[in-house]
Amino acid sequence: MFKIYTYKVLDMLQIERSAGAVIFTLNGEPEYLILQYGSGHWDFPRGNIEKNEKEIEAAKREIFEETGIEELEFIFGFKEKVKFFYRKKGRNIRKEVIYFLARSNTKDVKLSFEHKNFKWLPLERALETLTFETSREVLRKAHRYLANLGIIKEREDKKGDINKS
């Protein structure tokens, strides 16, 4: 009986895999691109990985489809995985999203029909705007990664603490 129940639960659970990126520009302080999805939440550009498509290829394709940004410099070594569950058409979906880190030399965005708005924001404002804690954690890790590579510099904040930006 337990095996049948387990089989039915697994049968009802659909798995989706997506890929995207934390995209930033550097004109002094880094700014991060976040998109407002049709349902209202704010997150990074991402989308489903197609059959026989590599994660990085899916990320590049989805970023272009959702933002019109084609030329990106991917930062080697950064790859974060986020997992969560949601419901779609009455079915339980386990979603796995792979995030890369990429630099854009343009802030020109051409939104797809899937999105309502976009913003380029410095770290603190991006953290305040992102809807999900998992996305905020990915952004914190991406920001620290850039600082550790020396791509962004340390600075002193108003409290005298050292921040990387």
For the chain, list residues with pLDDT below 70: 1-12, 154-165
The pLDDT of residue 92 is 87
The pLDDT of residue 161 is 40
- Please report where in the chains the tokens 């940004």 appear, as a residue: 69
The pLDDT of residue 98 is 97
- Provide φ and ψ at 22, rounded to 5°: -85, 115
CA distance 79 to 21: 9
Secondary structure letter of residue 77 according to DSSP: T
Closest C-alpha among 140, 116, 111 to residue 128 = 140
Residue 70 contacts residue 61 (beta carbons within 8 Å): no
Phi/psi region, residue 148 (left: phi>0; alpha: psi -120 to 50; beta: rest), is alpha
The pLDDT of residue 87 is 81
Q: Euclidean distance between the first and final Cα of the chain, in Å?
A: 56
Predicted TM-score (pTM) of the model is: 0.84
Q: What is the pLDDT of residues 89-131, one digit of tens each?
A: 888 889 899 999 999 999 999 999 999 999 999 999 999 999 9
The pLDDT of residue 89 is 83
The pLDDT of residue 91 is 83
The pLDDT of residue 27 is 86
Domains of the chain and CATH, by start: 14-158 (3.90.79.10)
Closest C-alpha among 117, 98, 116, 110 to residue 48 = 98
